Amino acid sequence: MHAVPRPYGQTAVVANFACERPPRGCARQWFRKDGGILAWLPLPGRRVSIVWSAPAALATELMSLDHAALASRVAAAGAHALGDFGVVTPPSAFPLQFLRLPALVAHRLALAGDAAHGVHPLAGQGVNLGFGDAEALAAVLAERGPVADPGASVLLERYARRRAEPVLAMQAVTDGLARLFGARGAWVSVLRNLGLAAADRLPFVKQALAQPALR
């Protein structure tokens, strides 16, 4: 079982911040002109966790800032929607890669979570895919009936079949969006905005995109 990850040319800068105003359970995301993607994810109280998927040079710059400068930079990048920021946890950096394995299972082996697939964090679906893997594997083992061996190939293949479609679909969506928003050119921007506006006017499309996260 072997696959070579495909780099996105971005690094995720991750940190937690205290903010002047509470996020009230609202997540925010900005697709930036430099090709980066900034997400603010709500935490309890007046705190947020951020994931800034930044081009490599920008990520290096952000990681070199002191805490006060980084907090100011993150708040400004989000138009100070939650007021001033203060660093709670030091930032960490993770190179972003796309990973699709030829199979999720092998002899007496089942992969789950980040070991099984790599997706861009722009939709926040990596952890949900991992939860789905764990749920499917637990269900297959609970429903195995007369098959006493939990490592039996028939059970592992059943798990792989259950996860094939949702993983492939989410990878297609996140990878497609990452490529779309990473593309340069005025005409790309126009088409992108038209597509998002059309999706916003179609409730069934928005529901299809939201349901995996809500589950």
Please work out, in degrees rounded to the nearest 5, the angle formed at the alpha carbon of residue 133 by the alpha carbons of 130 and 134: 90
* pLDDT category of residue 173 using cuts at 50, 70 and 90: confident
* pLDDT category of residue 1 using cuts at 50, 70 and 90: low
* pLDDT category of residue 182 using cuts at 50, 70 and 90: low
Other C-beta atoms closer than 10 Å to the C-beta of 131 total 13
Asked if the model's pLDDT at residue 187 lies above 70, the reply is: no
Q: What is the mean pLDDT of residues 149-176?
A: 91
56-89 pLDDT tens trace: 999 999 999 999 999 999 999 999 999 999 999 9
Asked if the model's pLDDT at residue 141 lies above 70, the reply is: yes
* pLDDT category of residue 198 using cuts at 50, 70 and 90: low
pLDDT, position 206: 53
Q: What domains can you pick out in the chain, each with its CATH number?
A: 6-98 (3.30.9.10), 101-214 (3.50.50.60)
Give the predicted TM-score (pTM) of the model: 0.77
Asked if the model's pLDDT at residue 38 lies above 90, the reply is: yes
pLDDT, position 96: 92
Query: Chain centroid to CA 201: how far?
Result: 24
98-115 pLDDT tens trace: 888 999 999 999 999 989
Q: Which is more confidently placed, 128 or 80?
A: 80
User: For 65-152, where are the alpha helices, taking DSSP H only?
Assistant: 67-77, 126-142
Asked if the model's pLDDT at residue 15 lies above 60, the reply is: yes
pLDDT, position 20: 97
**Do residues 28 and 48 touch, judged by C-beta distance below 8 A?**
no
* pLDDT category of residue 12 using cuts at 50, 70 and 90: very high
Asked if the model's pLDDT at residue 14 lies above 80, the reply is: yes
Which structure tokens are listed for 155? 């059970």
**Do residues 50 and 28 touch, judged by C-beta distance below 8 A?**
no
Question: Please, what's the b/e burial string for 156-189 (b: 16 or more CB within 10 A of its CB; e: otherwise)?
Answer: bebbbebbeebbeebbebbbebbeebbeeeeeee
* pLDDT category of residue 33 using cuts at 50, 70 and 90: confident
61-70's contacts with Cβ under 8 Å and 24+ in sequence apart are: 62/13, 62/91, 63/13, 63/91, 63/93, 70/15
pLDDT, position 172: 87
Start-to-end CA span in the chain (Å): 30
